[in-house]
Copies of this chain bind each other. A is one copy, B any other.
Amino acid sequence: MTSASDSVTAALARFHAVIPAGGVGTRLWPLSRADAPKFLHDLTGSGTTLIRSTYERLVPLAGNNVMVVTGESHHGAVTGQIPELRAGDLVLEPEPKDSAAAIGLAAAILDARDQAAGRTGDTGTIMGSFAADHVIAPVSVFQGAVREAVATAATGKIVTIGIKPTHPSTGFGYIRQGDTYEVAGAPHAHHVVEFVEKPEEAVAQDYVASGDYLWNAGMFVAPVAVILQHLAAAEPELHAGLTEIAAAWGTEHQHQMLTRIWPGLPKTAIDYAVAEPAADAGDVAVIPGYFTWDDVGDFAAIARLNPAAQQEGMTVIGPKARVYSEDASGVVVSDTKRVVALIGVENIVVVDTEDALLVTTTNHAQNVKKAVEALKEKGDSDVL
């Protein structure tokens, strides 16, 4: 027991949390939009934004060692949310380049610091990447899973935290777990057999029934050197560019290198560039997460995540909301002081912002993305 505890403590000393804060959250338009993406909202009525909640979940494990990768335009908003963030740990992307570039650059910067400090192998940084816009509870169970993931990563694995499915969702990819992986301090670790794409309904039912499949929540914990090694093999051009930027990080050339190299980098997902090749090579382990997890994929999720905001069948979100409802159910998200009256509408979704209004139903909530695309085509980009 002491040995396992010691090994977790030693591994955690190497831990650096990375929070990729990208993605507009188009399905949450008009609340979430280019200049006010999902992670900058308080979508659970907790009183804190999703990115702040993400940060606060990680601080007890990572201390000061937290890095955020986000778009240039969110500089002010992110530092406003996380004033504790060190300047060198704020990575500002000149343009979106998908997750492989974002997480890869974080890994490359942390690896460059390791090299400068003479940390290698068993002393090198273990990074853990956790999206800025997910909702997780209870936090202590999540933190226990991360501890196990860090202990497992210390053995040289790429470790994902997979969510124990509560229903046969067709909206998530799945992780197929194999045999137990024996690691001190990580009693729940398993080998990963493969990552699988979002399944059809019947397949999802089989997955859940088997007990061998977990939801892929995109949480990765691994030594930065191992991530970069897989990235170099799968995406050599991307790896080279990121290494070059990382070498200039924290020098007077940082900005110049970033703006010169970043726009030319290939766009791909970390799943394709690192996780799947590593799984094929038998290098991935998984910690099952027995916490509830929600990626707040649409407004139906908002109702689910805010049981306390229920007013006679309506979920009302918004500190200034003035809602009157009669024979109505659903969700109102109010970003204005406007009075909202709902009469005789069931499972309605109303999102009221200064310049745009959405009216749909919880069943159609997933179609919001399509509407946003149509508005873009129509030239209504001012409200996107």
- Residues of A at the B interface (CB closer than 8 Å) are 29-30, 322, 324, 326-327, 337-345, 348, 350, 352, 354-361, 363-364, 367-368, 370-371, 374-375, 378, 380, 383
Q: Are A356 and B341 in contact, CB atoms less than 8 angstroms apart?
A: yes
Q: Among the interface residues A322, A343, A354, A383, which one has the most CB atoms of the partner chain B within 10 A?
A: A343
B-side contacts of A368, CB under 8 Å: 341, 343
Describe A's contact surface by its main secondary structure: mixed
- What are 16 of the A-B contact pairs (CB < 8 Å)? A326-B367, A337-B355, A338-B357, A339-B357, A340-B356, A341-B356, A341-B358, A341-B359, A341-B371, A342-B360, A343-B358, A343-B361, A343-B364, A344-B367, A345-B359, A348-B359
Known A-B contacts A352-B357, A359-B348, A380-B322; A375 and B341 likewise in contact (beta carbons under 8 Å): yes
Closest residue on chain B to residue A29 by CB atoms: B341
B-side contacts of A380, CB under 8 Å: 322, 324, 339
Known A-B contacts A324-B380, A364-B327, A380-B322; A359 and B374 likewise in contact (beta carbons under 8 Å): no
Instruction: Output the least CB separation between A321 and chain B (Å).
Output: 11
Q: Are B326 and A342 in contact, CB atoms less than 8 angstroms apart?
A: no
Q: How far is the CA of A359 from the CA of B345 in the complex (A)?
A: 8
B-side contacts of A324, CB under 8 Å: 371, 374-375, 378, 380
B-side contacts of A370, CB under 8 Å: 326, 343
Q: How far is the CA of A364 from the CA of B363 in the complex (A)?
A: 21
Closest residue on chain B to residue A368 by CB atoms: B343
Q: How far is the CA of A371 from the CA of B354 in the complex (A)?
A: 23
Q: Among the interface residues A30, A338, A339, A345, which one has the most CB atoms of the partner chain B within 10 A?
A: A339
Instruction: Output the least CB separation between A353 and chain B (Å).
Output: 8
